[in-house]
C-alpha cells in the first residue's frame, strides 16, 4: 500500500496543527518551529536549485539550504542520479561497502591532517565520538569548548552553545565549568567541560584532553577567528599535550577545498565533518592522525559503532557532491558571496537599518548592530526582534532565511548572480517595510 499525503490538510497551518498532535512542538528540530521569530512554519513540498516550494505552492528563494548540507543546490541531477542508482541495490546492509571506502579516501585526500576517517550518521555523532577518542588517547578527562560554539546535542558539549540553544541558554561568562544547556543533562555530564570566550586563547594545564572549536563560528551568527586565535590554540595544545579538535561540520568542504583548516593554514589533531559530505542525506565523519584513530574499536579500546554508519545512499550522495567541488569552485563562490553581502548590507542601510554582513568564504552572516561581533557576548547583542521582523518581511518577498537570529546564510552553486540579485532587491523592500513598521 502506498501512503499519500492527506489532501484535506494542505495548508501550512493545518499541517502544523496535525504535527503538534503527534510530534513534540510539531517539529523534529526545535528551530523549525519558528519560536524565535513567531508565526507558523512553512512545510516544504519540493525543492530545486536555489528554490523551495511549500505545500500551498508558495515559492521561496532559499538561503537555508538545509543549514549548509546543500551546496550544489536542491535536487542536483548528479546527486539525485547517484542516490537513485544506489537505492536500486538496497538502502542499508550492516556490512562494509565500496562507497564508504571511496568517501573516506576522498576526505583524506582533501584534508592532509586526516590519515584515517570513521564514518558516522550525524555531526553530533562525529563530535561526541571525537571527544571520547581524545579522552581515550590522552588519558585525560577535561574538555575545553568556546561559548557560542555549537557541537551538536551531546550532553558533554551542550553547554553555552550557539544555534537554537542560544535562545534558551542564558549568557555565561568566563573560563568556568560549563552548566547544562538543556533540562535532562545532569551537572555531572558537563562537570569536565570548561567554557571559555571565543577568539581568546585560554591558558591550559595537563588535565585537558582536548580543545574543541568551530574554526569559523557559524552558530552565533558568523564570526571569523581573529588573527592568531587558531594558531594560538595549536601552540597551546602542543605545549601541554592536549589534542586540538576542529568541528568542521559547517565549514568542511564549504569554505575551501580542504575546509577551514586549509583556509587558515592550521592543522588540528582531529576533525569532525558532516553537512556537505552527505549531499543532503544524514552523514557525519571524524578523522585524524593514524596513531589516534587506531585507538578506535576494533583496533583499540575506544568503542564507537553505528548500524547506519557509511550508509550506501548517504555515501553515494556525498561522493556525487564532492565530485562537483573541485578547487576552482571555491574562489568563485567566495567572490559571489562577498559581492552579495556588500550589496545586502548596502540596501538595508539605505532603508535605515543598522546591520553588519560578514563573510568567510561563501558563508554569509547577518548581524543587527553597528559592528562585527567577535564572541558570544557580542553576538547576543544582535536585535532579535528586528531579525524576526526582517525574516517575515523576507518571506513576504519570497525569500527564506533561517528562522533564528543566530543562524547564517548558505549561498551555493545554484545561487547565481541573478538569484542573489533578486534576493538583494527583495531585501531592500523588506528592510523598508521593517523600518516603516
Instruction: Determine contact, residues 229/337, Cβ cutoff 8 Å.
Output: no
Helices first, then strands: H and E counts in the chain:
12, 14
Q: What average pLDDT score do residues 153-166 get? A: 63
Structural domain includes residue 6:
no
On whether both 18 and 93 belong to a single domain, the answer is no
Structural domain includes residue 339:
yes
Q: Helix 384-396 crosses helix 417-436 at what angle (to 10 degrees)?
A: 120
pLDDT for 170: 32
pLDDT at 2 over 70: no
pLDDT for 187: 77
Q: Rounded to an integer, what distance in angstroms lies between the CA atom of residue 2 and that of residue 72?
A: 31
Q: What average pLDDT score do residues 421-428 get? A: 98
pLDDT at 321 over 90: yes
Average model confidence (pLDDT) across the chain: 92
What is the distance, to the nearest Å, from the Cα of residue 147 to the centroid of all Cα atoms in its chain?
A: 16
Q: What is the pLDDT of residues 172-231, one digit of tens each?
A: 334 455 566 677 777 777 788 999 999 999 999 999 999 999 999 999 999 999 999 999
Q: What average pLDDT score do residues 385-397 get? A: 97
On whether both 53 and 90 belong to a single domain, the answer is no
Structural domain includes residue 389:
yes
On whether both 372 and 386 belong to a single domain, the answer is yes
Type and span of the H or E element at 122: none
pLDDT at 85 over 60: yes
> Which of 85, 103, 55, 77 lies closest to 414 in space, CA to CA?
77
Is 264 a residue of the active site?
no
Which residue among 62, 160, 169, 247 is the active-site one? 247
pLDDT for 189: 75
Structural domain includes residue 382:
yes
Which residue among 62, 67, 275, 406 is the active-site one? 275
pLDDT for 10: 85
On whether both 198 and 319 belong to a single domain, the answer is yes
Instruction: Identify the burial level of 360 via C-beta atoms within 10 angstroms of its C-beta, where 0-12 means exposed, 13-18 middle and 19 or more buried.
Output: buried
Structural domain includes residue 70:
no
Is 150 a residue of the active site?
yes
- Neighbour count for residue 124 (Cβ, 10 Å): 20
Which residue among 42, 67, 150, 264 is the active-site one? 150
On whether both 377 and 228 belong to a single domain, the answer is no
pLDDT at 117 over 90: yes
Q: What is the pLDDT of residues 118-138, one digit of tens each?
A: 999 999 999 999 999 999 999
On whether both 230 and 290 belong to a single domain, the answer is yes
On whether both 20 and 102 belong to a single domain, the answer is no
Q: Domain boundary residue among 292, 323, 354? A: 323
DSSP notation for 17-75:
HHHHHHSGGG-SSGGGG-TTT-S-PPPEEEEEBTEEEETT--EEEES-GGGGT-SS-BT
Structural domain includes residue 311:
yes
CATH number, domain containing residue 193: 3.40.640.10
Which residue reads 545532569 in cell numbers? 186
Instruction: Determine contact, residues 288/269, Cβ cutoff 8 Å.
Output: yes
Structural domain includes residue 26:
yes
Which grid cell is 210?
Answer: 582536548
Structural domain includes residue 72:
no
pLDDT for 5: 55
Q: What is the pLDDT of residues 265-315, one digit of tens each?
A: 999 999 999 999 999 999 999 999 999 999 999 999 999 999 999 999 999
On whether both 297 and 220 belong to a single domain, the answer is yes
Which grid cell is 330?
Answer: 571555491
Please provide the distance, in angstroms rounded to a whole number, between the alpha carbons at the two ends of the chain.
Answer: 51
On whether both 85 and 167 belong to a single domain, the answer is yes
On whether both 49 and 96 belong to a single domain, the answer is no
Q: Rounded to an integer, what distance in angstroms lies between the CA atom of residue 390 and that of residue 394?
A: 6
On whether both 112 and 32 belong to a single domain, the answer is no
Q: What is the pLDDT of residues 338-389, one digit of tens each?
A: 999 999 999 999 999 999 999 999 999 999 998 899 999 999 999 999 999 9
Q: Rounded to an integer, what distance in angstroms lies between the CA atom of residue 165 and that of residue 185?
A: 13
Is 275 a residue of the active site?
yes
pLDDT for 374: 96
Q: Domain boundary residue among 266, 292, 323? A: 323
Q: Of all residues in the chain, what percent carry a pLDDT higher than 90?
A: 87
Which residue reads 541531477 in cell numbers? 77
pLDDT for 20: 96
On whether both 313 and 409 belong to a single domain, the answer is no
Q: What average pLDDT score do residues 41-48 get? A: 97
Q: Domain boundary residue among 275, 300, 323? A: 323
Range(s) of the domain holding residue 250 = 77-323
Number of domains in the chain: 2
Q: Helix 312-323 crosses helix 77-87 at what angle (to 10 degrees)?
A: 150
CATH number, domain containing residue 371: 3.90.1150.10
Amino acid at each position: 500500500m502506498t501512503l499519500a499525503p492527506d489532501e484535506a490538510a494542505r495548508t501550512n497551518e493545518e499541517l502544523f496543527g496535525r504535527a503538534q498532535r503527534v510530534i513534540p512542538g510539531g517539529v523534529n528540530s526545535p528551530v523549525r518551529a519558528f519560536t524565535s521569530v513567531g508565526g507558523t512554519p512553512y512545510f516544504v513540498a519540493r525543492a530545486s536549485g536555489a528554490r523551495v516550494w511549500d505545500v500551498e505552492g508558495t515559492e521561496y528563494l532559499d538561503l537555508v539550504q538545509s543549514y549548509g548540507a546543500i551546496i550544489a543546490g536542491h535536487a542536483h541531477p548528479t546527486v539525485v542520479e547517484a542516490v537513485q542508482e544506489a537505492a536500486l541495490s538496497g538502502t542499508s546492509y550492516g556490512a562494509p561497502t565500496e562507497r564508504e571506502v571511496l568517501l573516506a579516501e576522498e576526505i583524506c585526500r582533501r584534508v592532509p591532517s586526516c590519515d584515517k576517517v570513521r564514518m558516522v550518521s550525524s555531526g553530533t555523532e562525529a563530535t561526541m565520538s571525537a571527544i571520547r577518542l581524545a579522552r581515550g588517547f590522552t588519558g585525560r578527562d577535561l574538555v575545553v569548548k568556546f561559548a557560542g560554539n555549537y557541537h551538536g546535542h551531546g550532553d558533554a558539549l551542550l553547554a553555552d552553545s550557539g544555534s537554537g540553544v542560544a535562545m534558551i541558554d542564558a549568557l555565561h561568562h568566563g573560563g568556568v565549568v560549563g552548566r547544562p544547556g538543556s533540562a535532562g543533562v545532569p551537572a555531572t555530564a558537563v562537570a569536565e567541560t570548561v567554557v571559555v570566550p571565543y577568539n581568546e586563547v585560554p591558558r591550559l594545564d595537563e588535565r585537558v584532553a582536548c580543545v574543541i572549536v568551530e574554526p569559523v563560528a557559524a552558530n552565533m551568527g558568523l564570526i571569523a577567528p581573529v588573527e592568531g586565535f587558531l594558531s594560538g590554540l595549536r601552540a597551546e595544545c602542543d605545549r601541554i599535550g592536549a589534542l586540538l579538535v576542529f568541528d568542521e561540520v559547517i565549514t568542511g568542504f564549504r569554505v575551501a577545498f580542504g575546509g577551514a583548516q586549509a583556509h587558515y593554514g592550521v592543522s588540528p589533531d582531529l576533525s569532525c565533518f558532516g553537512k556537505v559530505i552527505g549531499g543532503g542525506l544524514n552523514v557525519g565523519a571524524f578523522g585524524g592522525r593514524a596513531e589516534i584513530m587506531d585507538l578506535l574499536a576494533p583496533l583499540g579500546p575506544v568503542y564507537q559503532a553505528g548500524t547506519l554508519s557509511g550508509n550506501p545512499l548517504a555515501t553515494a550522495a556525498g561522493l556525487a557532491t564532492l565530485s562537483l567541488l573541485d578547487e576552482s569552485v571555491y574562489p568563485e563562490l567566495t567572490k559571489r558571496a562577498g559581492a552579495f553581502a556588500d550589496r545586502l548590507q548596502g540596501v538595508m542601510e539605505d532603508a535605515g537599518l543598522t546591520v553588519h554582513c560578514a563573510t568567510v568564504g561563501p558563508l554569509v552572516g547577518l548581524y543587527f548592530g553597528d559592528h562585527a561581533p567577535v564572541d558570544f557576548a557580542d553576538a547576543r547583542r544582535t536585535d532579535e526582534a528586528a531579525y524576526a521582523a526582517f525574516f517575515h518581511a523576507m518571506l513576504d518577498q519570497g525569500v527564506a532565511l533561517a528562522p533564528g537570529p543566530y543562524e547564517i546564510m548558505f549561498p551555493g552553486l545554484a545561487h547565481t548572480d541573478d538569484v542573489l540579485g533578486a534576493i538583494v532587491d527583495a531585501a531592500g523592500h523588506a528592510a523598508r517595510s521593517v523600518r516603516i513598521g
